[in-house]
Amino acid sequence: MIDLADIHDLVSELFKWPTNKEEWEQYKLSKEQVQHFHEFGYVAGIKLLDNGVVEQLRKELAEIIDPNHTGHSLFYEFHSNESANSDSILFHSLGHWRITEGFHDVLWNPAFVMAAHQLLEDKPVRFWHDQLFYKPAEHGGVVAWHQDYSYWTRTIAMQHLTCWTGLDDATTENGCLHYIPKSHKWGLLKAPELAGDMNGILSYLTEEQKEAFKPEPIELQEGYATFHHPLLVHGSFENKSARPRRAFVLNVFADGTVSNTDDELLKGVPPIKKGKKMRGKFFPLLYP
């Protein structure tokens, strides 16, 4: 099995890498979109994939959720069901960019890397890790309210960014993402169990924060994405609809981020000594 982490470039024809400044222009977010991100902690409704790419990624997902897939050993994490509720299912994985061409090449999707570059204040963009979330129809589990960086303090400084992209239409009925607008200004909170009690985070909040805790659903068409700040509180409810809710997540940080631990940063990845720059095979530079 080829480890695609060895290849820091497009390996398929799903995307075309721009060759000059003019070709990059079509992918730029507007000034208003960037301002919305900084004010509210997110910007949603960004088209990243056409229908053909969505279909390819759905096909790849259907193959790699099989624990007997030949590339299984390349996952950093693989949870057939991470849900804390035995009556629901939440598939969650990390590391699939190493296994299939489509999930590898979404890292080098020009629309993604340009938006990430802008939202990271025009800094070079380096890959952190990916995630897959699959909530099957009728019994899909929740993702509890949380802040992404609360799980990532093993990397500093906090200059991270998350991009969530739907492989199905995401609606309130099938468990779309919900944000707490402006909660990225609350500071770092404790990290709850990711697929545990939906309301666990509420015990960490001040009365003022509880008053401002007004979830906003982020409904998206398939192939569209939302970007959010590493401290923005977000989560998603169960899927009781007749449709699945499949999505992938790309997590990045600005180049220059360093390791904050001597332990391994991802399972199976050689440690980077504390204080040393995040770089190398597993943390490629996506946009210089």
Here the CATH number for the domain that contains residue 187 is 2.60.120.620
Is 111 part of a structural domain of the chain?
yes
- Strand, helix or coil for residue 127: strand
Is 38 part of a structural domain of the chain?
no
Q: In the structure encoding, which two tokens stand for residue 159, read together?
A: 């200059």
The pLDDT tens digits of the residues spanning 18-77 come to: 999 999 999 999 999 999 999 999 999 999 999 999 999 999 999 999 999 999 999 999
The pLDDT tens digits of the residues spanning 227-273 come to: 999 999 999 999 999 999 999 999 999 999 999 999 999 999 999 99
**Residue 60 or 83, more confident:** 60
Q: Which of 74, 82, 196 is nearest to 144 (CA)?
A: 196
Average pLDDT of the chain to the nearest whole number = 96
Is 69 part of a structural domain of the chain?
yes
What's the rounded Cα separation, in Å, for the pair 50 and 58? 13
CB 14 within 8 A of CB 105: yes
For residue 121, what are the domain limits? 44-280
Write out the E strands in 171-273: 177-179, 216-218, 224-228, 234-236, 245-254, 258-259
Q: Evaluate if residue 204 carries a pLDDT over 90.
A: no
Q: Evaluate if residue 208 carries a pLDDT over 80.
A: yes
pLDDT score, position 84: 80
Is 58 part of a structural domain of the chain?
yes
Number of domains in the chain: 1
Q: Burial of 70 by CB count in 10 Å (0-12 exposed, 13-18 middle, 19+ buried)?
A: exposed
Write out the E strands in the chain: 42-47, 77-79, 91-94, 125-135, 143-146, 155-156, 160-166, 177-179, 216-218, 224-228, 234-236, 245-254, 258-259, 285-287
Is 5 part of a structural domain of the chain?
no
Is 130 part of a structural domain of the chain?
yes
Is 174 part of a structural domain of the chain?
yes
Is 219 part of a structural domain of the chain?
yes
What is the sign, positive or negative, of the torsion defined by CA atoms of 193, 194, 199, 203? positive
